Amino acid sequence: MSQLMKLSLAQAVPMALKAFVEIGIPDILLEAPSDGLTINAIIEQLKDKPEVHHDSLSLTLRILSTVGIVVEESAVAPTYHLTVMGKLLTKSHQSSLDPMIRYFLDEPLWNAWGALPSYMQAQQQTTPFESANGMPSQQYYSMPEHTSSLKHAGSFVSFVSQEETRACVEGFDWATLNSKTIVDLGGHSGQVMRAVGAKFPSLKCICLDLPEVIKKNCASSMETEKNGAVVQLVGGDMFDPATIPPCDAIFMKHVVLCDWNEAKSRAIMKSCHEALPPSGLAIIAEAVLPSPGSTNGQESLSLLVDYFMTLDGRSPSKTSQEWQSFAESTGFKVLSIQHTSLPTCSILVLQKQTIKEA
Ligand SMILES: C[S@@+](CC[C@H](N)C(=O)[O-])C[C@H]1O[C@@H](n2cnc3c(N)ncnc32)[C@H](O)[C@@H]1O
C-alpha cells in the first residue's frame, strides 16, 4: 500500500522541482559554503523576492533530498547543498536543465497529462494537448501571449538538439565513409552535417530539406562555410528519390518516425532504397524502445519519453525487433544499433539489400 501511495503522489517530486527552479534556489545553493545553507539562510537570500514560506520550502528541500537533487545534513537546523545532479539545475551550468523543468512542468503540458486517460479511452483524433489547451501544440507555442512557454520549449529543444548532434557524431564511425558523399534527409538547418563535416573533413556532406526550409537557412549555410566545414544545403522532397543528390549514404534523424503514419515512413525508406547505390547505408537516429520483458531502469526513460510524445498524438517508437522487421520489409538489413546517452537517439545502421529477381 505504501508503494502505491508513493506512486500516486509521485507528482509531488516534479512540482517540488518546479518550485525549486522557479524560486531560484539552485543558484543560491551553488554559492553555499561546503556545509550548506539552512532554510532561514536561504530565505534571507530571497529577501528581495516575493516572500517564501519557511515550512513549505523546508518540505520541498526534504523531498528533493530523497531523489538526489540536494543533500540534507542533519543538525538542529538542517542544512542543504546541491548534489552533482542538482548543479545541472543552476542557470550558469553549461548544460543547464533549468529550461527542461520549466518546459515539462509548464501549465499546457501539465494540463495535457490530465487529458491522457480520456484520449486513451476514446481513441479520438483530438490529442491530449489539444483537448487541454484548445489547440495543437505548434499553434499554442506560436501565439504571442505564450512567448514564455515558447522560450522554455525552444531552449530545451535546442539543448536536446545539440546533445543529439554530439551523440550522432560519436555514435557512428564516420571515418569508415572516408571521402564519400552523405545526404542528411530532412536535415533542417544542417546542424548534424556541420558537426560531422567539421570532424571528418574528407566527407562530402549535403543537407536536404524542403525548398522553403532551405531558403530560410541560407544564412546559416554561409556561416557554415566560414567555419571551414562546408555543407551543401539542397532543396528537395524526401518522397521523390529523383530530388536526392547522388550519394553513398543517407542519414536521417527524427525523420523516419516523424509525426506521420507507417505508410509515409515506408515511402521514405523506398525513396532511400531508390537513391542509394547497391549496399548503400541508411543511418537512422531515432529512439529504440526496450523489448517487452527486458525493461530496466535506464531503458525505461525511453518509454517515458514516448509516453510524453503521446500528448501530441505521436505513435510509439519501435523496439529493436520492430526496427529489424521494418528494415527487412523495406529492402534493408540492420547492421548495428548503437545506443547513446540520449533515450531519443540511438544510431541504427541499415544496409540496402538488393532484391533478387525470381
Ligand atoms: C522532425 S524534423 C527533423 C529535423 C532534423 N533532422 C532534426 O533531427 O533536428 C523533420 C524535418 O523533415 C523536413 N521535411 C518534412 N517533409 C519533407 C519532405 N517532403 N522532404 C524533405 N524534408 C522534409 C522538415 O522540414 C523538418 O526539417
Summarised one tens digit per residue, pLDDT across range 123-150 is 667 999 999 999 999 999 999 999 988 9
Domains of the chain with CATH codes:
2-93 (1.10.10.10), 97-168 (no CATH), 169-352 (3.40.50.150)
Atom of ligand 1 nearest to the CA of 237: 20
Q: In angstroms, what is the span from residue 345 Cα to ligand 1's centroid? A: 16
Q: What is the share, in percent, of the chain residues with pLDDT greater than 90? A: 79
Atom of ligand 1 nearest to the CA of 191: 9
Q: In angstroms, what is the span from residue 188 Cα to ligand 1's centroid? A: 6
Sequence-separated (6 or more) residues with CB below 8 Å from residue 59: none
Q: What is the pLDDT of residues 43-65, one digit of tens each?
A: 999 988 888 999 999 999 999 99
Is the beta carbon of 213 within 6 A of some atom in ligand 1? Answer: yes
The answer on pLDDT for 84 being more than 90 is: yes
pLDDT at 221: 53
CB 277 within 8 A of CB 250: no
Task: Kindly report which listed range (206-215, 254-263, 292-301) carries the lowest average pLDDT score.
Answer: 292-301
**Rounded distance between C-alpha atoms, residue 129 and residue 108, angstroms:** 7
Is the beta carbon of 186 within 6 A of some atom in ligand 1? Answer: yes
Q: What are the CA-CA distances from residue 218 to residues 154, 204, 233 (Å)?
A: 21, 18, 8
Is the beta carbon of 254 within 6 A of some atom in ligand 1? Answer: yes
Q: In angstroms, what is the span from residue 190 Cα to ligand 1's centroid? A: 11
Eight-class DSSP state of 347: E
**CA-CA-CA-CA dihedral for 144, 11, 127, 147, to nearest 10:** 10
pLDDT at 240: 97
Torsion 21-23-29-35 (CA) sign: negative
| pLDDT band at residue 219 using 50, 70 and 90 as cut-offs | low
Q: In angstroms, what is the span from residue 189 Cα to ligand 1's centroid? A: 10
Q: What is the pLDDT of residues 60-83, one digit of tens each?
A: 999 999 999 999 998 788 999 999
User: Among all chains, which residue has been given the C-alpha cell 523506398?
Assistant: 270
Is the beta carbon of 253 within 6 A of some atom in ligand 1? Answer: yes
Atom of ligand 1 nearest to the CA of 187: 6
Q: What is the pLDDT of residues 143-195, one digit of tens each?
A: 999 998 899 899 999 999 999 999 999 999 999 999 999 999 999 999 999 99
pLDDT at 227: 52
